[in-house]
């Protein structure tokens, strides 16, 4: 099997934009655990934030991001993100993305694309492709990657663990910095674990949305990169900050469907069942307040009124034809369930949406382990702070994938020698007698996290969640070392660990800030700090019993 210059784990906007750039300099392997179109990128509706209007400014976008981040953003990295925005849009266009263009009159003013506004933004700066921006970006990137002879894509190849010095053959181990040499991944089709080595490894595996019972994320969002990095010895940071999108379509028993923030940017108003615009009393920006504030307000209003959902009123925002033109997919989805958004309110509830924390990285997306990088939702760059500003996530993936590559090129890592490493030892494990147990464990995790580690938390609920997760984790650990490898077990192992990291991080934060609201500590501390967790050197919980 070949040894590569770079291995990318994940096939969303962060992973594929990195792969396309890196392919100019060497051989790249992209590992994706399902098909290359899976993940959260293709689900993004609203768009990608960038200063494209001469009437807007970098300073305003930076300030909006800092305000949303509730005092925890790293300003220098926010500035990197925002300043690189226009060039990132041009890169995506060069790769084939087709964004909605501005009218001829607006283009004459120097604005090339139709720009919309979202919550927390002081200007209209969201570049979009109707209401399917992520889908269009994913299409363009996949097409570009498939045409590139220097990029190899392995689908249905879930990563299991990072390869480090402990995986070297006897007598080959080396002293010095802790390094990552590649990834062990399961070839699902052939049912065997393969060793993939590279000079640099880049984790672009997305977030942890599947830890919650209600999420806008794809089924693949199980925190794989975060968990693998933590087990290998990298630090994770700010895992308590799970963003709940305020508005997903309320339809019990059906998959969660995101109702884009762009609808509120278009004039949509949040109302309770009595028709009261309850956000008017909560925040000066009303229904366009930052996501953490809107999600908590909806949660509080549901509890106050005893109603299972709130409503988004678009009836004063244009005719049916106009709304269908602006939001064709959302309009069709609502219509398929009997809701004509031009005449009826859309029922909405919050859902887990984005992990603002992740693998701790520097301004070049480098982790604490040599030759290991993390980009996109799997990382914690500090640009989102305690609450992500809408449509900054796609931008982060493009901007920091470039910075990661520049750092790799500067450090010039060498390809590892395959002869120095052990192939995966399967121990000839037998199949689990009942794989349905993995589904049951997943349901328990998701229910626990939703009810005990959700939008509003308490010390009691966090302690109870930690207790439940400890038991589940022990069983998963035993199964991992007792039964043969299969995708559900790999994901469950990672998701359980990430859920525990979220709870531990939340327990350490003795305040309420941004997305983390604890009724026992309702005030925000004057001093801001990040929550950093590392695997203790003496820990035995992640080793073979």
pLDDT digits (tens, 9 = 90+) for 491-525: 999 999 999 999 999 999 999 999 999 999 999 99
Q: Which residue, among 522, 478, 536, 471, has the nearest Cα to 500 in the 3D structure?
A: 471
**Residue 35 pLDDT greater than 90, yes or no:** no
Q: What is the pTM of this model?
A: 0.93
Which residues make up the CATH 1.20.58.100 domain(s) of the chain? 436-533
> Phi/psi at 403 (nearest 5 deg)?
-65, -35
**What angle in degrees, to the nearest 10, is found between the helix axes of 392-411 and 85-94?**
90
Contact 371, 180 (CB under 8 A): yes
Residue carrying the six token digits 């909560």: 282
Which residues make up the CATH 3.90.700.10 domain(s) of the chain? 246-352
pLDDT at 131: 85
pLDDT at 175: 73
Q: 78-103: per-residue pLDDT in tens? A: 999 999 999 999 999 999 999 999 99
Average pLDDT over residues 295-316: 94
Contact 18, 31 (CB under 8 A): no
User: Cα separations (Å) of 66 from 59, 171, 373?
Assistant: 10, 50, 24
**Residue 375 pLDDT greater than 60, yes or no:** yes
CATH topology of domain 3-49+56-92+132-241+356-420: FAD/NAD(P)-binding domain (3.50.50)
Q: Pick the range with the lowest mean pLDDT from 107-111, 142-146, 200-204, 353-357.
A: 107-111
Which residues make up the CATH 3.50.50.60 domain(s) of the chain? 3-49+56-92+132-241+356-420
Q: Pick the range with the lowest mean pLDDT from 193-207, 275-289, 413-427.
A: 413-427
Q: 55-79: per-residue pLDDT in tens? A: 999 999 999 999 999 999 999 999 9
Average pLDDT over residues 26-30: 98
Q: If residue 169 lies in a helix (H) or strand (E), which one and from where to where?
A: none
Q: Tell me the CATH number of domain 436-533, given options 3.40.50.620, 1.20.1440.230, 3.40.50.300, 1.20.58.100.
A: 1.20.58.100
> Phi/psi at 351 (nearest 5 deg)?
-150, 145
pLDDT at 537: 75
Express as a percent the part of the chain with pLDDT over 70.
97
Catalytic residue numbers read 291
**Residue 239 pLDDT greater than 80, yes or no:** yes
CATH topology of domain 246-352: Flavocytochrome C3; Chain A, domain 1 (3.90.700)
Q: How many CB atoms within 10 Å of residue 208?
A: 33
pLDDT at 39: 74
């Amino acid at each position: 099997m070949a040894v590569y210059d770079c291995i990318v784990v994940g096939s969303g906007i962060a992973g594929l934009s990195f792969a396309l750039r890196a392919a100019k300099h060497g051989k790249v392997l992209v590992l994706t655990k399902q098909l290359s179109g899976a993940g959260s990128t293709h689900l993004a509706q609203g768009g990608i934030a960038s200063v494209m209007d001469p009437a807007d400014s970098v300073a305003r976008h930076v300030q909006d991001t800092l305000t949303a981040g509730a005092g925890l953003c790293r300003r220098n990295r926010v500035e990197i993100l925002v300043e690189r925005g226009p060039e990132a849009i041009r890169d995506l266009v060069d790769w084939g993305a087709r964004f909605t263009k501005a009218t001829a009159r607006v283009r004459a003013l120097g604005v090339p694309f139709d720009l919309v506004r979202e919550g927390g933004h002081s200007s209209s700066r969201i570049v979009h492709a109707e209401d399917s921006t992520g889908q269009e970006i994913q299409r363009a990137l996949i097409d570009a990657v498939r045409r590139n002879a220097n990029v190899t894509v392995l689908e249905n190849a879930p990563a299991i663990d990072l390869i480090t010095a402990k995986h070297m053959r006897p007598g080959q181990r080396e002293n010095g910095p802790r390094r990552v040499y590649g990834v062990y991944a399961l070839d699902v089709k052939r049912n065997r674990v393969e060793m993939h080595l590279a000079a640099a490894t880049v984790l672009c595996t997305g977030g942890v949305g599947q830890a919650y019972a209600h999420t806008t994320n794809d089924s693949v969002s199980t925190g794989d990169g975060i968990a693998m990095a933590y087990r290998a010895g990298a630090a994770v940071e700010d895992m308590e900050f799970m963003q709940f999108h305020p508005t997903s379509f309320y339809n019990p028993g059906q998959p969660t469907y995101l109702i884009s923030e762009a609808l509120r940017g278009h004039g949509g108003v949040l109302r309770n069942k009595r028709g009261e615009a309850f956000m008017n009393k909560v925040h000066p920006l009303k229904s366009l307040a930052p996501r953490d504030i809107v999600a908590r307000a909806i949660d509080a209003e549901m509890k106050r009124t005893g109603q299972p959902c709130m409503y988004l009123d678009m009836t004063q925002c244009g005719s049916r034809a106009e709304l269908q033109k602006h939001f064709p997919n959302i309009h069709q989805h609502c219509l398929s369930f009997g809701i004509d958004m031009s005449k009826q309110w859309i029922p909405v509830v919050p859902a887990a949406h984005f992990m603002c924390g992740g693998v701790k990285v520097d301004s070049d997306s480098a982790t604490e382990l040599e030759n290991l990088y993390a980009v996109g939702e799997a990382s914690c760059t500090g640009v989102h702070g305690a609450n992500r500003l809408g449509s900054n996530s796609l931008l982060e993936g493009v901007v920091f994938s470039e910075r990661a590559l520049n750092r790799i090129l500067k450090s010039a890592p060498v390809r590892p020698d395959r002869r120095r490493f052990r192939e995966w030892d399967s121990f000839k494990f037998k199949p689990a007698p009942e794989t349905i147990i993995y589904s049951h464990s997943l349901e328990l995790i998701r229910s626990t996290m939703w009810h005990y580690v959700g939008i509003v938390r308490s010390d009691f609920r966090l302690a109870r969640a930690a207790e439940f997760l400890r038991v589940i984790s022990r069983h998963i650990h035993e199964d991992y070392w007792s039964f043969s490898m299969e995708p559900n077990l790999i994901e469950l192992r990672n998701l359980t660990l990430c859920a525990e990291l979220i709870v531990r991080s939340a327990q350490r934060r003795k305040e309420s800030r941004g997305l983390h609201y604890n009724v026992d500590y309702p005030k925000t501390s004057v001093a801001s700090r990040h929550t950093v967790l590392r695997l203790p050197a003496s820990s035995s919980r992640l080793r073979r019993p």
